[in-house]
């Protein structure tokens, strides 16, 4: 029975497998393009004396996170405690969990993680901090914390005029080590006018700079001022007072970042390789990749190098393409590559990245933290 290779050790010795040798659909990474994107973001943050702690919520792989550290990242940003565990245990000890950690079960795991690595956790209310402090004291560890500030996204975060008061309290808790602040300007990524986008980002991040200055003036060290996603980092990196950026998804790039966030200069390093399975009409084709393979909510996927094919509709396991011109010669069994609308949410539909250099399979990376949502 056919079995997709799922582990580098399963690959035949001296193999030269290409994309054509793997069954579809699968998630393909172009390693050279990915490395070029990584080098660009890494250098692009260094140029502004800002550190880079790329978000791993999209790739969920400690192999990738380690590769990013080798390319200049200081650690990883995570969305979940479980992601942080995977990164620390996979060799990336300096992790920022850009999220709120609540409940005894997670706090016990967090205390254990403090013994294995050096996590940082967000706090926006004393009701998260007090039980965390108690657990850390009981376990004989100190956990670094930063205050998440609401800079306009209106998701989580304390109001900027409450940051100082909360920091004063955190500073007195022996199980916690106050390390700084963060905010996410996620509500500003898709502003079309670039002058307006820059002004709005400057305005939002100024709130963080002002908070940091207030803390320093009180003698509360504010080492970390963190923000930034791929959709904003080109502008956020130049703002006053920012010490680190969280941009992660840019390493793969996708249609959303390019079309809606106007991120330039990056290569599309991530594709879905699909097969045409049906030709119901001359101007329609059905591929084996639907919504369970390809995330398209924010922006449609596109077929690589084919202006004459348009992703028209997806159901769970079927993708429907509209064909014009030469594309109408497409046949059942032909293969296509698609750039996802949003790479982040596409990756987590898959168990493995199949990694290629010049069409040769060079590695297979598991998304180890996929499905680990606690
Ligand atoms: C806290 C936080 N930081 C950064 C990002 C941006 O991540 P990326 O660069 O992968 O788009 C997000 C995206 O949702 C986020 O929630």
324-327: Cβ within 8 A, 24+ apart: 324/283, 327/285
Across the range 54-59, mean pLDDT stands at 98
Of 54, 57, 295, best ligand 1 pocket probe by most atoms within 8 Å of the beta carbon? 57
H-helix or E-strand spanning residue 144: strand 143-148
Gap from CA of 253 to ligand 1 centroid (Å): 13
For residue 122 and ligand 1, the question of a CB distance below 6 A is answered with no
pLDDT reported for residue 14: 75
* Cα 98 from Cα 156, distance rounded (Å): 11
- Provide the angle, in degrees to the nearest 10, between the axes of the packed helices 62-70 and 31-46: 50
156 exposed, middle or buried (CB, 10 Å; 0-12, 13-18, 19+)? Answer: middle
Ligand 1 nearest-atom number relative to CA 228: 4
Which of helix, strand or coil describes residue 12? coil
Cα-based distances in Å from 268 to 27, 45, 254, 359 = 13, 20, 6, 15
Ligand 1 nearest-atom number relative to CA 230: 9
Token pair belonging to 130 = 């007090």
Token pair belonging to 268 = 């599309």
Gap from CA of 79 to ligand 1 centroid (Å): 9
User: Per mean pLDDT, which range of 4-8, 19-23, 319-323 is the poorest?
Assistant: 4-8
Gap from CA of 346 to ligand 1 centroid (Å): 15
pLDDT reported for residue 120: 98
Token pair belonging to 320 = 């429907």
Ligand 1 nearest-atom number relative to CA 57: 10
Mean pLDDT over each residue of the chain, to the nearest integer: 96
List all residues 6 or more positions away from 14 whose beta carbon is below 8 Å from its beta carbon: none
> Pairing relation of β-strands 284-287 and 319-323?
antiparallel
The answer to whether residue 237 scores a pLDDT higher than 90 is yes
Token pair belonging to 202 = 């400057």
pLDDT reported for residue 278: 98
Gap from CA of 218 to ligand 1 centroid (Å): 30
169-195, pLDDT tens digit by residue? 999 999 999 999 999 999 999 999 999
The answer to whether residue 289 scores a pLDDT higher than 90 is yes
pLDDT reported for residue 149: 98
Global confidence as pTM: 0.96
Gap from CA of 17 to ligand 1 centroid (Å): 34
| Whether 176 contacts 143, CB under 8 Å | yes
334-357, pLDDT tens digit by residue? 999 999 999 999 999 999 999 999
The answer to whether residue 99 scores a pLDDT higher than 80 is yes
| Whether 369 contacts 63, CB under 8 Å | no
> What's the topology of domain 8-28+266-366?
Lyase, Ornithine Decarboxylase; Chain A, domain 1 (2.40.37)
Delimit the domains of the chain by residue range.
8-28+266-366, 32-252
Over its C-alpha atoms, the chain yields an Rg (Å, rounded) of: 22
Domain 32-252 = CATH 3.20.20.10? yes
Across the range 120-149, mean pLDDT stands at 98
């Amino acid at each position: 029975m056919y079995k997709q290779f799922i582990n580098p050790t399963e690959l035949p010795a001296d193999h030269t497998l290409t994309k054509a040798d793997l069954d579809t659909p699968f998630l393909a990474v172009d390693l050279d393009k990915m490395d070029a994107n990584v080098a660009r973001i890494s250098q692009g943050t260094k140029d502004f004396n800002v550190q880079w702690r790329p978000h791993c919520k999209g790739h969920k792989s400690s192999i990738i996170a380690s590769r990013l550290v080798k390319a200049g990242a200081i650690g990883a940003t995570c969305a979940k405690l479980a992601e942080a565990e995977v990164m620390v245990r996979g060799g990336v000890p300096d992790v920022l969990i850009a999220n709120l950690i609540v409940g005894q079960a997670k706090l016990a795991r967090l205390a254990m993680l403090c013994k294995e690595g050096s996590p940082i956790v967000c706090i926006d209310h004393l009701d998260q901090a007090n039980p965390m402090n108690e657990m850390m004291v009981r376990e004989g560890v100190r956990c670094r914390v930063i205050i998440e500030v609401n800079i306009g996204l209106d998701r989580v975060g304390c109001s900027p005029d409450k940051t100082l008061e909360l920091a004063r309290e955190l500073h007195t808790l022996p199980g916690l080590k106050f390390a700084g602040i963060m905010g996410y300007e996620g509500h500003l990524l898709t502003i079309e006018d670039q002058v307006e986008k820059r002004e709005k980002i400057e305005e939002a991040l100024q709130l963080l700079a002002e908070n940091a200055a207030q803390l320093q003036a009180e003698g509360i060290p504010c080492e970390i001022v963190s923000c930034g996603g791929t959709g904003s980092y080109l502008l956020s990196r130049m703002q006053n007072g920012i010490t680190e950026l969280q941009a992660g998804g840019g390493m793969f790039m996708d249609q959303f970042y390019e079309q809606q966030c106007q991120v330039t200069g990056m290569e599309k390093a991530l594709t879905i390789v699909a097969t045409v399975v049906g030709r119901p009409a001359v101007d329609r084709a059905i591929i084996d990749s639907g919504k369970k393979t390809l995330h398209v909510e924010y922006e449609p996927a596109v077929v690589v190098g084919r202006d004459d094919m348009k992703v028209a509709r997806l159901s769970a396991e079927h993708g429907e393409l509209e064909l014009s011109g030469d594309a109408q010669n497409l046949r059942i069994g032909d293969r296509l590559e698609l750039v996802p609308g949003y790479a982040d949410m596409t990756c987590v539909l898959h168990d493995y990245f199949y990694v290629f250099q010049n069409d040769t399979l060079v590695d297979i990376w598991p998304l180890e933290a996929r499905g680990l949502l606690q």
